[in-house]
Structure 1
Amino acid sequence: MQWLRQYLSGTSGGGGGTGGTGAYADFESGTDGWTASNISGGPWSTTAWSSKGLKSLQVDIQMSNGSQHYMFKSGNFSFTGSQLKATVKGAGWGNYGSGLGVKLYVKHGNSYTWKDSGWLTISAGGVANLTLDLTGVDKANIKEYGVQMIDASNSSGQTSVYVDNVYLWN
């Protein structure tokens, strides 16, 4: 129960990259070292939306047929939980077509082995709570973790995507 008290009080970890069961990123004081690729703006900490606290991480993306976008943190990390969790929201504008696919992922080990949560699809304004089971992951050798987004074939226009409350769960 101690980890739950720490998580709910926001005192367990912040944006650090080593062990613990607390939040790995809450974006309350900045980007927490996260970056992004194939985006048109960001990432930055924003008050436009959050799932916990006052802020989240935002990127702007240009949607097109099958385009992939990433928000992530790279480095050398050691995870102690059994699941990695994050909340993702799509902004209420842009043509999402049949939806924006989102998944949580890690790259681990010396060969950067990929493992992900599987796809969830969100529409404009939609929220997804992502959970990645870390079974089989070299948790002492995490190289990168983040959120991958892929546009539907019938999507177009610009939108924003928000990520918040990235944490480990025992």
Structure 2
Amino acid sequence: MSNNGGNGGGSVLATFEAGTQGWSGTSLAGGPWSTTAWSSQGSRSLQGDITMSAGSQHYLLKSGSTNFTGYTKLRATVKGASWGSYGSGLGVKLFVKHGSSYAWKDSGWVTISAGGLANLTLDLAGVNLADIKEYGIQFIGASNASGTTAVYVDNVVLGN
């Protein structure tokens, strides 16, 4: 797909306008599914429901061999729903697993509160771009987080 979001000549990997686009989730209370509840662009995003607790880890991700050759950045927009007890915040980060050892590289943590939004960018330096095994978003509950909420991902884009 070509870029339609003003991300500097990139390649759109997922907008979720036409379903989940092969994305899945782990440690979810429900989903994932394409939803109109929120979007950063267009009318849909990917939603997963999570039950937060101290250190709980949840993922929305795309598995399978992918080639990111020619790109230096991976970007995504994430949002948390306005309900649930986020405590001191929900940690979010964009990640890739690459190469035969599934080496992990991530964007570093950003913390969002209930209803919060984050634009995440992962620098792909040092990543085996021709052998991406998985990419997605990791969510982790704060030590004082509890309850169920929804998390959203939209506009996953490769760029430079």
TM-score by length of 1: 0.89
Q: Which has the higher helix share?
A: 1
- The alignment status of 1:33 with 2:22, answered yes or no, reads yes
The 5 A counterparts of 1:38-53 are 38-53=27-42
Q: What is the count of residue pairs matched by the alignment?
A: 157
- Corresponding position of 1:145: 135
Runs of 4+ with >2 A deviation: none
> Which protein has greater RCO, CA pairs closer than 8 Å, 6+ apart?
2
The 5 A counterparts of 1:1-170 are 6-8=2-4, 21-79=10-68, 80-170=70-160
Deviation at 1:21, TM superposition (A): 2.9
Deviation at 1:27, TM superposition (A): 0.2
Q: Distance in 2 between matches of 1:24 and 1:162?
A: 16
Matched residue type, 2:135: Y
Deviation at 1:8, TM superposition (A): 2.4
Show structure 2 runs of 5+ residues with no match: none
Alignment identity in percent? 66
- Contact 2:4 2:12 (C-alpha < 8 Å) held by counterparts: no
- Let me know the Cα RMSD of the aligned residues: 1.5
Q: Distance in 1 between matches of 2:113 and 2:136?
A: 20
Show structure 1 runs of 5+ residues with no match: 11-19
